[in-house]
Chains A and B, each alone.
Chain A
Amino acid sequence: MAHSYTPGLTVTERTIVRRRRILPLPGSVLVQVGDAVRADTAVARAELPGKVVPLNLANQLGIAPDEINDYLVKKEKDSVQKDDVLAENKPFIKWFKTEIRSPITGTVESVSTITGQILLREPPRVLELRGYIDGTIADVHPEQGVTVETTCSLVQGIFGIGGETSGELVMGVKAPDQPLLPEQLNPSMKGKVVVGGAFLSAATMTRAKELGIVGLVVGGIHDKDLRALLGYDLGVAITGTEQVGFTLILTEGFGTIPMAPKTFALLSAHAGQKASISGATQIRAGVIRPEIIIPHSGPAAATKVAQAEREGIQFGDPVRIIRDPLFGKIGAVSGLPSELRAIPTESEVRVLEVRFPDGTTTVVPRANIEVIEGA
């Protein structure tokens, strides 16, 4: 039978992560297998084709498209400087002369005698791909990029916004159920990744931006604050390109939800160390979760960490309930009845029993829990 459970989020003290760093189009790889790299090391480089600017010369000169070759000063593939004359007419009276000048510096990409258009292209833009994490080059993909490997602590979040960044991990609160308040942020946190507890408000986000904090990691936020931060209502969870001044990672979900104690303890234990974080989230096809990677010092290859293969959900597994009315509560699996059970909606579903730290138990649909993965 297919296993009926939601793959969980990994929270682990020690694992090996490999991250593919791939250019958007072919380029050159700048490092070799075995090289040690840092998060900000350029590992590959590509030239992104410049912007294309079309100009309709035929219209501007008042001629038929198939006549434009007679008026061109610059030909296909010629380099042009901004304000260079691209085409001109040759009237008998000088005053009637029309010159079409280039609005950009670049090259003449093509000339069309069908449409009377000339396409100009700006010079290519150099794109440098960074290593993202401190680690070792495990693999080189010629012309495409590399795979960086590191031994690290890893925390996956449920949702994030903003791209990749890195900075020193600093605890903003003392306990996982405390909210992160604006007054808990200070100028010494500039360039750092600040960990909150159960919640952070719009005011805290504003303060973080003012202070130049590069990352915020917290249990939950309100959707209305996310909307205010982004300036629009996020409809689909595909993120990573937002530019709001920092990268935000939620470990639990939306609302005021204490950070899982295990997550909080792990992050606390690494306060002061450098972390690479990414808010990129994609819930649909090809799930991408936001992540906090805290590389351990020393070469990755020297310490092989066993990657446990999950075989479905088991007794004793730590789980998080991920649907109301008990959303955010954390416990351990204490029963796995195989028969379908009717729930208050009258649906008959597979369920499991969860025991909470205070000894109480509840029965929830298996679809409504996720395993907190990682040793």
Chain B
Amino acid sequence: MTAAQQSPATSNPTHPLNVIVATDCGSTTTKAILIEKVGNEYRQTYRGEAPTTVEAPFEDVTRGVLNAIAEIEELSGRTILDGDRIITPNQASQGDPTRGVDIYVSTSSAGGGLQMMVTGVVQNMTGESAQRAALGAGAIVIDVLASNDGRLPYEKIERIRTMRPDMILMSGGTDGGAVTHVVEMAEYIAAAEPRPRFGSTYRLPLVYAGNKDAQPQVSKILGEKTALEFADNIRPVLERENLAPARNKIHDLFLEHVMQQAPGYKKLIEMAGAPIMPTPAAVGVIMETIAKREGINLIGVDIGGATTDVFSVFGGLFNRTVSANLGMSYSISNVLAEAGLDNIMRWVPFTIDEQTLRNRTKNKMVRPTTIPQSLDELQIEHAIAREALRLALIHHKSLATGLKGVQQERTISDVFEQRTSGKTLIDLLKLDLIVGSGGILSHAPRRIQSMLMMVDAYEPLGVTTLSVDSIFMMPHLGVLSTVNEQAATDVFVRDCMVYLGTCIAPIGLGKDGERCADYEIALPDGRIEKGTLAFGDLKLLSLTRDQQATVTLQPSKQVDLGEGPGQSFTRTVKGGVVGLLLDGRGRPLQLPTEQAARVAMLTKWYQAVGLYPAGSKWRIADG
């Protein structure tokens, strides 16, 4: 049982839940949604937002929450607040159904979220396991220290001293194994006397989830200097990872210590009818729920202003990573720095000089709330988003490797394989669904823009369905699902998930115009659409959300759709608000390096799917 499931007395309300208000307190904005039971199903009805108020001059997160809820009050005509109090339960039984809500729930990533430092003995083994445990709990991992990380002891101590984490997770050693290295790390931590990021009067929470035989020594060394808690070893034996106990302990300490220090959170915890969850943990809950319910493999991405979170469920194994400095506003310059100018420019259907692009990107960084006003600015942001998504997936693949989740057995030979690199669990050919979230994807003026950004960044193989979160409510639904699964599921299916459609992408390369595959699509109205997909083609066919079609493809000799090169392939696919995208651009996707050819190619693709307003000119920016 996770901390999120352990709830205060109010989390299992005796009254029925017909009206629910949920908030997500983000770094900049607090977003509130109202959910009401309409007939037998729950629907999201109103939405409000207000600036988050963790910082001065307010320094009270509940102020932003109340402002966001006040906006819902204004839009819905419902009375939810009585001064600074949320009226619960709803007063329907007293004859006034427009007064009050039955429960209030919230997630939070305000103040930079949960920032953790983790330690292990061997970097690629316990260090990585600790990292996965912390990431799975919704944390941002600010550093991974390990006995073999190449840093000298004094460098490690200096690093611990200069960091201000919210919490430390220590791991290392198998149960019954040698204690020396893990005790040595405890000595370094004690010598560094780490201080928490918020508040100078409380001790830094530290979870020890390493060799259980070292617990007495760790307790002696760190018991006085930190708020030390023990959890079961995350790597009790070399071949098995056991992350759940450490994750649960992190959630508990997050609520008990970290959140208590953040301004106004004591009040927020009292206001909420269920434990406050870190935003990424709540999104993770939703992702796991979808994958489990549908029995599918999925990748979810939440691309924000500062960070990009990637979630995956493959074969039932859940993983999450956060790319702390890949985002579309605060971190936009870092995307340019990490991806490089050429990688950004390869998606831009016009030419622009480097200096202009760099200055514009920096200006977005220092004024993160601005929005693209002209079409070329929008196209540049979409180009940068493709690279942020691509880099975050590369990061995710590197951590979502081999030994994952709870209780997975590995052989000794696998362990040695993991030591060198680790085999990623992400298999794009087995990927069923991509779920996109975050402003650039949820609020793209045309849904095809969201779809193509994800297709270009992830290069899905074979058949993949794509969707987006309509107005960013996955965190709200994640925490709500811990209280009322039906409400969360109803809203998720009807109001949150917008199915964009399905992408079919054959694997292989060929010359532009050469036959890639012949297709035959049996549409729901009985029509059969036949044609040839040539290399370099991008075709968009209409197939609405409530429609399915049976697609048969006969690829050319070297082309594979998952059944082997040249093998025929038949699959029933889902439609969506965009439709069915046939991607004959080849995999891996290759763009011309010569500028004029690249611009021509992009223009052809973008026009083929109506990516931007018709008649818009791919103008040459004058710099």
Contact = CB atoms under 8 A, between A and B. Distances in A.
Interface of A: 1-2, 6, 25-26, 49, 51-54, 65, 109-110, 112, 114-115, 117, 119, 121, 144, 158-159, 220, 222-224, 226, 233-237, 253-255, 281, 283-287, 322-325, 327, 343-347, 349, 364-365, 367-368, 370
A323 B367 CA distance: 9
Given A54-B187, A114-B180, A117-B184, A286 B55 contact: yes
Given A2-B71, A25-B200, A49 B193 contact: yes
A6 B110 CA distance: 19
A109 B373 contact: no
Contact of A322 (B55, B334, B359, B370): B370
A236 B366 contact: no
A223 B191 contact: no
Central interface residue in B112, B190, B372, by most chain A CB within 10 Å: B372
B601 interface: no
Contact of A2 (B50, B337, B358, B359): B50
B374 interface: yes
Contacts of B369: 6, 367
Contacts of A26: 200
B489 interface: no
B443 interface: yes
Contacts of B443: 347
Given A344-B373, A367-B370, 20 more contacts: A2-B48, A2-B51, A6-B367, A51-B154, A114-B183, A223-B358, A224-B358, A233-B337, A235-B338, A253-B359, A253-B367, A285-B111, A322-B370, A324-B377, A344-B613, A345-B378, A345-B445, A364-B373, A367-B371, A370-B367
Contacts of B338: 235
Contacts of A114: 179-180, 183-184, 217
Contacts of B67: 2
A109 B112 CA distance: 34
A345 B306 contact: no
Contact of B366 (A1, A65, A233, A253): A253
Contacts of B199: none
Contact of A53 (B154, B180, B331): B154
Central interface residue in A1, A2, A222, A345, by most chain B CB within 10 Å: A345
A233 B333 contact: yes
B46 interface: no
A322 B188 CA distance: 47
A117 B445 CA distance: 61
A284 to B, nearest CB: 5
A360 B115 CA distance: 49
A109 B367 CA distance: 47
Enumerate the 6 nearest inter-chain pairs by beta-carbon distance, A residue then B residue, closest first: A235-B334, A346-B445, A223-B358, A233-B337, A254-B359, A254-B362
Given A2-B51, A224-B355, A346-B613, A65 B370 contact: no
A227 to B, nearest CB: 8
B533 interface: no
Nearest to B364: A323
Contacts of A117: 184, 187
Central interface residue in A25, A109, A159, A323, by most chain B CB within 10 Å: A323
B548 interface: no
Nearest to A143: B200
Nearest to B55: A286
A226 B443 CA distance: 32
A347 B355 CA distance: 27
B363 A254 contact: yes
Interface residues of B, number: 67
Contacts of B157: 51-52, 54
Interface string B299-335: 0000000100000000000000000010000110110
B239 interface: no
A345 B180 contact: no
Contact of A54 (B28, B49, B191, B372): B191
Nearest to B446: A346
A285 B613 contact: no
Contacts of B578: none
Contacts of A324: 360, 363, 373-374, 377
A343 B373 contact: yes
Contacts of B366: 158-159, 237, 253-254, 281, 283
Contacts of B190: 110
A222 B359 CA distance: 6
A370 B366 CA distance: 12
Given A54-B153, A323-B373, A365-B373, A283 B359 contact: no
Nearest to A2: B50
A236 B200 contact: no
B479 interface: no
B54 interface: yes
Contacts of A327: 363
Interface string B158-195: 10000000000000000000011001100110111101
B365 interface: yes
A234 B330 CA distance: 11
Nearest to A327: B363
Interface in B45-65: 48-51, 54-56
A285 B445 contact: no
Contacts of A54: 153-154, 157, 187-188, 191
Nearest to A287: B55
Contacts of B71: 1-2
B360 A322 contact: no
Contact of A344 (B110, B153, B375): B375
B27 interface: yes
Nearest to A226: B362
B368 interface: yes
A287 B365 CA distance: 13
25 contacts: A2-B50, A2-B51, A51-B157, A52-B191, A54-B191, A117-B184, A117-B187, A158-B367, A159-B362, A222-B359, A223-B362, A224-B355, A236-B306, A237-B330, A237-B365, A253-B366, A283-B366, A283-B368, A285-B27, A287-B55, A325-B374, A347-B372, A347-B443, A364-B373, A367-B370
Contacts of B360: 254, 324
B74 interface: yes
B361 interface: yes
Contacts of A2: 48-51, 67-68, 71
B583 to A, nearest CB: 24
A343 B426 CA distance: 39
B336 interface: yes
B375 A345 contact: yes
B153 A345 contact: no
A255 B51 CA distance: 29
B280 to A, nearest CB: 16
B611 to A, nearest CB: 11
A283 B305 CA distance: 11
Nearest to B324: A236
A148 B153 CA distance: 40
Given A117-B184, A237-B330, A286-B56, A345 B363 contact: no
A171 B49 CA distance: 44
A115 to B, nearest CB: 4
B359 A236 contact: no
A155 to B, nearest CB: 16
Interface in B188-230: 188, 190-193, 195, 200, 217
